[in-house]
Structure 1
Amino acid sequence: MAHSATSSASASVTCSGLSFAWPDGTVVFDGFDLAVGPGRTGLIGLNGSGKSTLLRLIAGELDPGGGSVRVAGEMGYLPQNLVLDTALRVDAALGIARARAALHAIEGGDASEEHFAAVGDDWDVEERARATLDRLGLGHIGLDRTIGEVSGGESVLLRLAALLLRRPDVLLLDEPTNNLDLDARRRLYDAVVAWSGVMVVVSHDRELLELVDQIADLRGGEVHWYGGNLSSYEEAVAVEQEAAERMVRVAEADVKRQERELAEARVKLARRVRYGQKMYDSKREPKIVMNARKREAQVSAGKHRIMHTEKLKEAKERLDDAVEAVRDDEIRVDLPHTAVPAGRTVLTLRELELRYGARVQDFEVRGPERIALVGRNGAGKSTLLRTVVGQLEPVSGEAVAHVPVRFLPQRLDVLDDELTVAENVARFAPAATNNRIRARLARFLFRGARADRPAGALSGGERFRASLAALLLAEPAPQLLMLDEPTNNLDMTSVGRLTAALESYEGALIVASHDVPFLRGIGITRWMRLDGELSAVEPEEV
């Protein structure tokens, strides 16, 4: 990969003839081309289409099998699954520890040349660091603290702060809002708006994608470009889909017409054959003449039949092409019918004290309630859900579920990486037949060989789909469904489909999420904030 110093105005990312396949032989790119210049580009596409893989190839974390990747300008990369050493100090995470230590040494009277070399021209590095942290809502975090003292969302913002301090020409962001609370998301949005170089952001966050200048839709190993933000993209796709569906109807009508004409031609040819045979049997003309006419009729009939068959074949090919142009890539979530009577108590929490300090006094879930659990990063939302399902013991008090519960954790660690998708689902439903399991998996886009892929080879979104399929096929079916940040790894299409599916779910629902548009879309009946204690809030306060 080539990197060259350049100004932000001439910074760019170029992929030429790029090829990449995973060790198991799964091809992600084959002869892939991409050119991105200054501005904010939103890279979207179905889960497993290669978005994160593409960013890793551009960032140099993966080596292409063929072709080239060229980045003009200094590059910064924020990966989706960020792992930082908990013992690392904040100034080290920001990349300023050496310069800062040298600066303090000089201020203390040590004029060693090595200190001046470490500082270079960056004499205001500490002030810039504090200003950047403050801009991202991290002003309360001291430079001498360790990563282990900050929340997961704060560590993501710290990594972004480190990138901003470097002032790269090209910035790659992979699902940057996944673990951020609402306040942190808004801080990140402000940073995105202020960005002036090349930015490529992979995200399903609607509010973030409304801030980009163009959308790059990765489909079938190719990028399709759309000017404008997410709303403009959706309008353009809607027009495309309307035209594609119209072409399907035209092609279907053409196939029917060709089938009808072929049938009519066969009837006419059959009549000719019967007439010719009748004439032959009656011997009204010389035998040599009748044989010549018979051969001529057979040749003519053959040509006629071939012509109509070819026309029908071409019509069917046009129909296949038209159908291919219509997008049918949504997961079809078929939630079990698990109606809960309105007055039935589903969950009871009494005098509950959670690990890490959060408390819940008396709280009940009744009937098919839909509860949104919101709050800042580190407030204890995941801890509360894990305590309800018995994964964590409370410090005191009790959590009692009165109905079958299913929990989809944020980390999606319910799957065995060594087993295939189908084998994982079978673990949760040992009584289910292989056909039933595969039929259910097909609704989650795991068709044929995709159901035989090992869980360890799945992308984040694919892993979510496989986990959700396992949860829904498990027995007994859930009457209380708890989801922890369910939209974190889903593409836009799957978020929409999950929203529609949860709207029809008849059991009780508790969803911990920072994705407010998603929460509003699933018909939340009660909004609860966990901030030291659990309390009700109005939707407009979220």
Structure 2
Amino acid sequence: MSLTPPITLHNLSFEWPSGQRALTDLDGTFPSGLVGLTGRNGSGKSTLLKLIAGRLTPTSGSVEASAPIGYLPQMITLEKDATVAQLLGVDAVLTALKAIEAGSVEPADFDAVGDNWDVEARVEAELNRLGLGQVSLDRKVGSLSGGETMLLAVLGLRLAGHEITLLDEPTNNLDQPTRALLYDLVQSWKGTLIVVSHDLELLELMEHTVELHAGELRVFGGPYSAYLQQLDTEQQAAQQEAKTAQATLKVEKRQRVEAETKLARAKRKGRAEQLGGNMPRILANSLKQKAESNAGKMRSGLDGKVESAQAKVDAADKKVRTVEHINLDLPDPQLPAGKNVAIISSQTTQQIIQGPERVGLIGPNGSGKSTLLRQMISGDPTRSGLKGEIYLDRVGFLPQRLVGLDDQVSTMDNVAAVAPSASSGEIRNMLARLLLRGASADLPLGSLSGGERFRVYLSTLLLAEPPAQLLILDEPTNNLDIDSVRQLAEALQAYRGALLVVSHDQRFLEQLNLDYYLEISAQGTLTKSYPNPV
């Protein structure tokens, strides 16, 4: 077995065209096997994966890979016009096979096929194993659910057999059964797999955890829980070190003040003795100079101790991590309790949402949840028996695929376009409460991380004038780090309008204090159920 690390970073730096630095002089290696890459939103995880995959070019430094790399980007579900065959990475092989079957003797076709003469049979077997045997290879990605798209993309990389594979948030949009299928794929993965995810169960399958924090890369042995345990131990020690350093600094400052007081008293006493006695002037001046010299040395020594203590405080404080919080003050949309908000119906059942009810829309991948939400917003009919109608004009919709804003212009300009009466200061204040500060607000939307991008879309809903009386959120926790998911739930708990949420993140749903669930089955039936009491 080779001891060469699969990925090595040499002074890696990347700067966006705007001048914003994403990574600076990053050094480090990734171990072999299953590796979870963790870090807060905006720390540069997705940018780092793009640099490793060759999708971005470093501003300086380099990435050294021991083998060819496969890569699943975070925004795979935006590629709606691709076919399933393209998503699986077998379209070129299938095209060449068809050409050969039709009589082609072109060397390029035989080169494209290589040893993959049984590719159709292997793909069919894998699709059946994942419960996707009904999916045609000619089908468009845009017609698939987000979960189906993601699972097929991961399967495509597995079929490709790369020695190194990078997955960016692979469990986005996956329901629990589909996640279980993905976990099976990961556990039997051949080669090195580097995963960015906020899915705790997936991170627990990892053999190593690599953290990107404060511009540094650090390797921890074991899965996410082991990383958290070690980090907690280190933070307890860092907090104690900071507390001790603060106490020492306080003592040194007090001693400095006490010494200065003693010096002042001695100076006054010496002056009084000189004025009241018969000491010769030359002797008095000599004693004065000696006293001042000794005082200067004492001050210098005490100042040095204070400066040294302050340096230790600063060094200790740097080791203590602080968690920034999303801080949202959501306006009251003034929604009466008995007002009809929306109706959702199947062929046999209908459910009316009234007043500020908080509803979770759940069901397996492909059952039509996102399609139903889009139909409710657009009013266009669906092919299934499910349909919905909204009775309000003031509705905020956060789509699963985060489309509708301009990736080429800044965050500020995107928000200003939907909130024309808001001042620049008001917009910046809102973005700051969503942890998008300073230069981040002026960067093109397309250059932001998935979590930052989500916050921009959310801000366009929260700055609506007048405020939305119904918020419809489709998989809002996609790409959010674990702290941000909890903070989003806390913010939405304070929202006093109606809430309709689609999410496969059960922890998030439990934190929202929902009134009830509407569950859509694979057959398109609609049932109502209530959350289990905590």
Give the shorter-chain TM-score range.
0.7 to 0.9
C-alpha distance in structure 2 between counterparts of 1:430 and 1:121, whole Å: 59
- Residue of structure 1 in register with 2:341 after alignment: 348
**One-letter identity of the residue aligned with 1:392:** S
- Residue of structure 1 in register with 2:241 after alignment: 247
C-alpha distance in structure 2 between counterparts of 1:18 and 1:190, whole Å: 34
1:522 aligns with 2:516: no
**One-letter identity of the residue aligned with 1:320:** D
**Distance change in 2, residues 1:121/1:425 (3 Å):** closer
Q: CA deviation at 1:376?
A: 3.7
**Distance change in 2, residues 1:521/1:431 (3 Å):** same
**Distance change in 2, residues 1:190/1:10 (3 Å):** farther
**One-letter identity of the residue aligned with 1:375:** G
Do 2:161 and 2:190's aligned partners in 1 also have CA atoms closer than 8 Å? Answer: no
Give 1:215's match in structure 2, choosing from 178, 200, 209: 209
Do 1:383 and 1:392's aligned partners in 2 also have CA atoms closer than 8 Å? Answer: no
**Distance change in 2, residues 1:401/1:315 (3 Å):** farther
**One-letter identity of the residue aligned with 1:315:** A
Do 2:77 and 2:150's aligned partners in 1 also have CA atoms closer than 8 Å? Answer: no
**One-letter identity of the residue aligned with 2:482:** M
- Residue of structure 1 in register with 2:456 after alignment: 466
Do 1:94 and 1:158's aligned partners in 2 also have CA atoms closer than 8 Å? Answer: yes
User: For residues 187-217 of structure 1, what are the alpha-carbon distances to aligned partners after superposition, in whole Å with 9 as ceiling and x for unaligned?
Assistant: 2111011113100011112221121111111
C-alpha distance in structure 1 between counterparts of 2:304 and 2:469, whole Å: 55
1:536 aligns with 2:528: yes
**Distance change in 2, residues 1:215/1:476 (3 Å):** same
Give 2:351's match in structure 1, choosing from 355, 363, 374: 363
C-alpha distance in structure 1 between counterparts of 2:277 and 2:23, whole Å: 70
C-alpha distance in structure 1 between counterparts of 2:247 and 2:182, whole Å: 51
Do 1:8 and 1:169's aligned partners in 2 also have CA atoms closer than 8 Å? Answer: no
C-alpha distance in structure 1 between counterparts of 2:388 and 2:123, whole Å: 44
User: For residues 101-144 of structure 1, what are the alpha-carbon distances to aligned partners after superposition, in whole Å with 9 as ceiling and x for unaligned?
Assistant: 66567778x59474665544333222111112223332111334
1:258 aligns with 2:248: no
Q: CA deviation at 1:414?
A: 6.3
**One-letter identity of the residue aligned with 1:153:** G
1:202 aligns with 2:192: no
TM-score calculated relative to the size of structure 1: 0.84
C-alpha distance in structure 1 between counterparts of 2:134 and 2:298, whole Å: 83
- Residue of structure 1 in register with 2:76 after alignment: 82
User: For residues 323-346 of structure 1, what are the alpha-carbon distances to aligned partners after superposition, in whole Å with 9 as ceiling and x for unaligned?
Assistant: 2222223333233374989x8135
User: For residues 347-384 of structure 1, what are the alpha-carbon distances to aligned partners after superposition, in whole Å with 9 as ceiling and x for unaligned?
Assistant: 433476xxxxx779642334554322123445443444
Look up the SS of the partner of 1:487 in the other structure. coil
- Residue of structure 1 in register with 2:126 after alignment: 132
- TM alignment of 1:67-466, pairs within 5 A: 67-82=61-76, 89-97=83-91, 99-100=93-94, 112=105, 114=107, 118-336=112-330, 338=332, 344-345=337-338, 347-350=340-343, 362-366=350-354, 368-386=356-374, 391-395=377-381, 398-401=389-392, 405-413=395-403, 417=407, 420-422=410-412, 437-466=427-456
**Distance change in 2, residues 1:536/1:170 (3 Å):** same
C-alpha distance in structure 1 between counterparts of 2:301 and 2:160, whole Å: 68
User: For residues 226-259 of structure 1, what are the alpha-carbon distances to aligned partners after superposition, in whole Å with 9 as ceiling and x for unaligned?
Assistant: 2221222222222222222222322222232223
C-alpha distance in structure 2 between counterparts of 1:90 and 1:418, whole Å: 28
1:512 aligns with 2:506: no
- TM alignment of 1:21-60, pairs within 5 A: 21-60=15-54
Do 2:9 and 2:26's aligned partners in 1 also have CA atoms closer than 8 Å? Answer: yes
**One-letter identity of the residue aligned with 1:345:** G
Kindly report the root-mean-square deviation, in angstroms, between the aligned alpha carbons of the 2 structures: 3.4
1:62 aligns with 2:56: yes
Look up the SS of the partner of 2:217 in the other structure. strand
Do 1:193 and 1:211's aligned partners in 2 also have CA atoms closer than 8 Å? Answer: yes
C-alpha distance in structure 2 between counterparts of 1:274 and 1:23, whole Å: 65
Look up the SS of the partner of 1:364 in the other structure. strand
C-alpha distance in structure 1 between counterparts of 2:220 and 2:408, whole Å: 39
**Distance change in 2, residues 1:270/1:439 (3 Å):** farther
1:495 aligns with 2:488: no
Do 2:330 and 2:494's aligned partners in 1 also have CA atoms closer than 8 Å? Answer: no
**One-letter identity of the residue aligned with 2:24:** D
Do 1:11 and 1:169's aligned partners in 2 also have CA atoms closer than 8 Å? Answer: no
Q: CA deviation at 1:423?
A: 5.7
Q: CA deviation at 1:91?
A: 3.6
Number of aligned residue pairs: give it. Answer: 524
C-alpha distance in structure 2 between counterparts of 1:496 and 1:274, whole Å: 63
Look up the SS of the partner of 1:401 in the other structure. coil
C-alpha distance in structure 1 between counterparts of 2:53 and 2:344, whole Å: 49
**One-letter identity of the residue aligned with 2:379:** E
**Distance change in 2, residues 1:145/1:429 (3 Å):** closer
Unaligned runs of 5+ in 2: 382-386
C-alpha distance in structure 2 between counterparts of 1:525 and 1:206, whole Å: 26
Do 1:414 and 1:467's aligned partners in 2 also have CA atoms closer than 8 Å? Answer: no
**One-letter identity of the residue aligned with 1:509:** L
Q: CA deviation at 1:424?
A: 5.2
Q: CA deviation at 1:274?
A: 1.8
C-alpha distance in structure 1 between counterparts of 2:223 and 2:368, whole Å: 34
C-alpha distance in structure 2 between counterparts of 1:150 and 1:463, whole Å: 23
Q: Which moved more, 1:202-211 or 1:229-238?
A: 229-238
C-alpha distance in structure 1 between counterparts of 2:81 and 2:463, whole Å: 41
Do 2:360 and 2:501's aligned partners in 1 also have CA atoms closer than 8 Å? Answer: yes
User: For residues 253-276 of structure 1, what are the alpha-carbon distances to aligned partners after superposition, in whole Å with 9 as ceiling and x for unaligned?
Assistant: 223222322222222222122222
Look up the SS of the partner of 1:330 in the other structure. coil
Do 2:41 and 2:480's aligned partners in 1 also have CA atoms closer than 8 Å? Answer: yes
C-alpha distance in structure 1 between counterparts of 2:453 and 2:235, whole Å: 28
**One-letter identity of the residue aligned with 1:374:** I
C-alpha distance in structure 2 between counterparts of 1:96 and 1:437, whole Å: 46
Do 2:341 and 2:498's aligned partners in 1 also have CA atoms closer than 8 Å? Answer: no
C-alpha distance in structure 1 between counterparts of 2:44 and 2:357, whole Å: 37
C-alpha distance in structure 1 between counterparts of 2:481 and 2:148, whole Å: 24
